[in-house]
Amino acid sequence: MKRLVGAVLATATLTLTACSQVSALAPVGGNREALLRFAGNDVLVSHGVAIRTAPVCTTGQDDVVCTGEAVGGDPIRLTGAAGEPLVLVVTVGNRTLYDGPAQDVVDRAARPSGAPS
């Protein structure tokens, strides 16, 4: 029992003293911004969009927004709103190229074309 209390106390202290470090341990690089950017770029490339400036992302409190420019001047916009799963909307000028889960794009790109999901 004494050992158990000790372990619990130790764990509680670990959790409290190192919480900022523990949160920083989360899988490196695996964040919403990266997912949105990669999925958005996948959509742009698969649609043959000629890119002048690839989307540059900023993460707000809840949303991720990435903006770029196509050759010819059309603005490129990737947006991901708060919530799970992360829903990606890709627009080039007035055209919406994709509106759906970002992870679906990444998974499709990682599988042979025509493979079942």
In the complex, which residues of this chain contact other proteins (CB under 8 A)? 3, 6-11, 13-14, 17-18, 20-30, 33-35, 37-42, 45, 51-54, 56, 71, 103, 106-107, 109-112, 115-116
CA distance 58 to 64: 6
Of residues 83 and 115, the one with the C-beta less far from other proteins = 115
Of residues 1 and 83, the one with the C-beta less far from other proteins = 1
Residue that the structure tokens 């900023």 belong to: 58
CB of 87 to other proteins, least distance (A): 16
CB of 47 to other proteins, least distance (A): 12
Of residues 83 and 116, the one with the C-beta less far from other proteins = 116
Determine the distance from the C-alpha atom of residue 83 to the mean position of all C-alpha atoms in its chain, rounded to a whole number.
Answer: 12
Of residues 72 and 93, the one with the C-beta less far from other proteins = 72
CB of 43 to other proteins, least distance (A): 9
Integer CA distances (angstroms), 27 to 21, 24, 32, 72, in order: 13, 8, 12, 38
Q: Which distant-in-sequence residues (6+ apart) come within 8 Å of 77 by Cβ?
A: 55, 65, 66, 67, 68, 89, 90, 91, 92
